[in-house]
């Protein structure tokens, strides 16, 4: 990846514990997008935060618009794009209030839907802004994850105490939500991003351990990843472990 982890840590203030899983999740999403989408296509990054994913996508040759409601993060994202001399556009606003004018080949919703009381309304709002054959790539936390179960069983702590999360997901519930939209599921899988994250995104040991977990506890990963389309055409999508 283009941006050093130390720089991401500096601008995001995620802390050393969370930065590892953030980098692993980002690398995974970048790989999926490159598999799904040729270069020079248009991507809308909803909830682009400090812009590191959008800037990485621009470096890969995509045309990216990032939307973020926090103006401090937007300013950081613009500065990051300028620092790496990449043409990436960022605007400040709430996605449910922004008036989109263009259409996109892919809309990225990374850890966004859990912040909405009625997530199907957001998906239905965004669907008309997909080009023909366009895709949505989304991730949401998986509430009954192995990590969440252990946390609750042994520590008595609710798995998700984020006050900004208004909707909780497992695979069944996400599928029910998607039935209230016109989108069709191309691929839906559950993956481990947080366990063993301190080994790093490129660690062979982590890849082996996570591969074993994905085979044995396939529904207990911490994150649900889904590729959706606005049409009924089935595409071949093969997620890596």
List pLDDT tens digits, range 191-218: 998 888 878 777 888 889 888 888 888 8
Residue 5: how many other CB atoms lie within 10 Å = 15
Q: Residue 206: which region, alpha, beta or left (left: phi > 0; alpha: psi -120 to 50)? A: alpha
- Which residues does residue 67 pair with via DSSP β-bridges, in sequence order? 46, 91
Identify the pLDDT of residue 196. 80
- Which residues does residue 228 pair with via DSSP β-bridges, in sequence order? 136, 185
Q: How many domains does the chain have?
A: 1
Nearest alpha carbon to residue 63 among 46, 34, 87, 81:
87
Percentage of the chain with pLDDT > 70?
96
236 part of a folded domain: no
- Structural domain of 175: 5-159+168-229
Q: What is the pTM of this model?
A: 0.92
60 part of a folded domain: yes
Identify the band that residue 107 occupies on the pLDDT scale cut at 50, 70 and 90. very high
Q: What is the CATH number of the domain that holds 99?
A: 3.40.50.150
pLDDT at 26 over 60: yes
Identify the pLDDT of residue 181. 96
């Amino acid at each position: 990846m283009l941006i050093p982890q130390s720089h991401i840590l500096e601008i995001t203030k995620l802390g050393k514990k969370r930065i590892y899983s953030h980098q692993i999740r980002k690398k995974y999403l970048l790989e999926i997008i490159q598999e799904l989408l040729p270069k020079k296509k248009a991507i809308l990054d909803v909830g682009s935060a400090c812009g590191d994913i959008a800037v990485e996508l621009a470096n890969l040759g995509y045309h990216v618009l990032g939307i973020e409601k926090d103006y401090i993060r937007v300013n950081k994202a613009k500065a990051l794009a300028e620092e790496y001399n990449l043409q990436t556009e960022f605007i400040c606003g709430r996605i449910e209030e922004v008036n989109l004018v263009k259409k996109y080949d892919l809309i990225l919703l990374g850890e966004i839907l859990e912040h909405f009381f009625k997530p199907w309304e957001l998906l239905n709002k965004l669907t008309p802004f997909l080009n023909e054959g366009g895709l949505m790539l989304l991730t949401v936390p998986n509430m009954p994850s192995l990590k969440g179960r252990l946390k609750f069983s042994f520590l008595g702590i609710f798995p998700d105490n984020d006050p900004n999360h208004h909707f909780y997901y497992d695979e069944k519930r996400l599928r029910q939500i998607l039935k209230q939209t016109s989108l069709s599921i191309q691929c839906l899988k559950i993956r481990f991003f947080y366990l063993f994250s301190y080994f790093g995104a490129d660690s062979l040991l982590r890849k082996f351990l996570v591969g074993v977990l994905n085979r044995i506890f396939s529904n207990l990963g911490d994150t649900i990843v889904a590729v959706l389309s606005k049409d009924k055409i089935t595409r071949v999508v093969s997620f890596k472990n």
